Amino acid sequence: MELAKQLLDIERKLWTNDAALYKDNLIEESLLVFAETGVISRDVAVDAIRTENAEGRRWAEVDFNDVRTMRLAEDVALLTYRVASRWEHEASKTMALASSVYVNRGGAWKLGFHQQTPV
């Protein structure tokens, strides 16, 4: 499968806000950067997703545009995109620029770093 498709498939799954998927698709030492939280670890993100799920918070719409990929090394790749997303409980979408760095571990691409910058 083409690298861009593989990474985008993983990224789309992560936007389903499934805590188990996050735990399985992020390396243990991964870092995530959000305006609301600052820098957080995988475990903090997984706990936050569990809380969101318990509160019934889910994404109603997630649209990717301007998707780009670049292989940084044999086992490291960058995915960037513009995302328009809306929570089920909100009326309007928010826009952000997103960047994810993936590493290939044991033949599988895993997220090592993700950042969202509000637009």
Alpha-carbon distance of 115 to 77, in angstroms, equals 14
pLDDT at position 1 is 63
The residue with tokens 């957080």 is 40
The residue with tokens 């799920």 is 53
pLDDT at position 79 is 98
State the alpha helices, DSSP H only, in 1-119.
3-14, 19-25, 42-54
Amino acid identity, position 65: N
What fold characterizes domain 3-118? Nuclear Transport Factor 2; Chain: A, (3.10.450)
| pTM (predicted TM-score) | 0.93
Residue ranges of the domains in the chain?
Answer: 3-118
- Give the tens place of pLDDT for each residue, 8-29: 999 999 999 999 999 999 999 9
